[in-house]
Amino acid sequence: LHPLDNLHIGLNLRGPMYLNSSGNTTTTPIVAENNYQISPGSPQDPAKTKLDFHLPWVLRFGVRYAFLDKRHREQGDIEADGTYETWHQAEGSGDQLSFKALGPYTNVNTTIEHHYKDTGSFRVGGAYNFWFANESMLALRAGFFYDSAATSSAWTRIDFDTLAKTGYTLGLGYKIHGVTINVAYNYIASNSRKVTNCKHQI
């Protein structure tokens, strides 16, 4: 939506995805020898494996306001965005893994537990443009975002990074004669977490 020349509002909704994958899985068992040395054993025959997993509903919303100069050129802008993802509905119980035979294991049909919860994020950023006599333009940009954690402390895992994250961005752009060159830097940090109430084996 563009209610004003310099005001822009966006809304996007993406539906869930159900991904039923299949392929061959091979394993190499570990052999412990008499002197306690560990070495790889003989590879097992490949097993036909199925893995079903899901991606969530994703709602995105954003508002952008541009500052225009007397010549109606964009002098700068500020933008705020938010997202909401239904990970509890998609991966609350986890993913289903199954195969008939793999090494000593037969007729396996198990759930890889995730216990994800819904997540949200907030993002804000802006830019300031310097216009020159030859209509070239130098843009300075900066931003910040926060993504909430996808699991509670009790269901922290090491196979997926589900911790809350913060990010900081910087950018520089130069446009002349219709050609634009952009460079950017993005620093993302996963917030630390001390787990004292783990509900599963890691």
- What's the angle, vertex CA 96, arms to CA 94 and CA 98, rounded to 5? 155
DSSP labels, 160-195: S--S-EEEEEEEEEEEETTEEEEEEEEEEEEPP---
Say if residue 60 is exposed, middle or buried (CB neighbours under 10 Å; 0-12, 13-18, 19+). middle
Length of the chain: 202
Q: What is the pLDDT of residues 86-126, one digit of tens each?
A: 999 998 888 888 888 776 777 888 888 888 999 999 999 99
Q: What is the pLDDT of residues 180-193, one digit of tens each?
A: 999 999 999 988 88
pTM of the model: 0.76
